[in-house]
Amino acid sequence: MINSKKRVLVLEGSPRQGNTTVATDWVLAGLGKKGVEVIRLRVCDLNINGCQECEGCVTEKKRAGCQQEDDMLEVYDLLVDSDLVLWTSPVFCWGVTSQIKAVVDRCFALLNGENLLKGSRWAVVLTAGGDHFDGADLAVEMFRRLAEFGQVEYLGHYVVPNCGRPQELKRRLDVARAARRFGQELRQALLK
């Protein structure tokens, strides 16, 4: 029997399991489980080096072609084979964490030759200690522009501003409702 479930790859960029994990859990609850297979990868637990700009990927036309041998090789397959990639990260110094940024930078290897990301779908979940314009806006713009460049369908983002401690966030029922609603919107886009 053919697996008809939609595959969702969650790339978790937080080095700890805090606010970003809470928000991601809420979004996934809204997404639901029926007809969906979720693969969650904690990027900080993987061995992924930053891009070395060796341009080895430029010579490959039909595959990623990255010359580095690390865990990103498995992530490439998941990025290409997933129906939705959900990028998650807290905002660190006006951007995403270095762990998730390494994955973003290494996506360049999928854009050379045949664009292996073309037609993919991406969404973003960010948490921030400040407001929406305290770095989250820059992170969203990075993902939006990369998606546009890679001809990826950008399904949107959910930003949780003004985060304190995770136990405080868990009491913010309005945030939980909005995150679940975002998950429901992703489900509608994914299953249409």
Q: Which helix (H) or strand (E) holds 6?
A: strand 6-12
The residues facing 115 across adjacent strands are none
123: left (phi over 0), alpha (psi -120 to 50) or beta: beta
pLDDT digits (tens, 9 = 90+) for 74-124: 999 999 999 999 999 999 888 899 999 999 999 988 887 788 888 999 999
Q: Which CATH class is domain 6-191?
A: alpha beta
Pairwise CA distance, residues 116 & 124, whole Å? 20
pLDDT digits (tens, 9 = 90+) for 133-174: 788 999 999 999 999 999 999 999 999 998 888 888 889 999
pLDDT digits (tens, 9 = 90+) for 52-83: 988 887 776 556 678 888 999 999 999 999 99
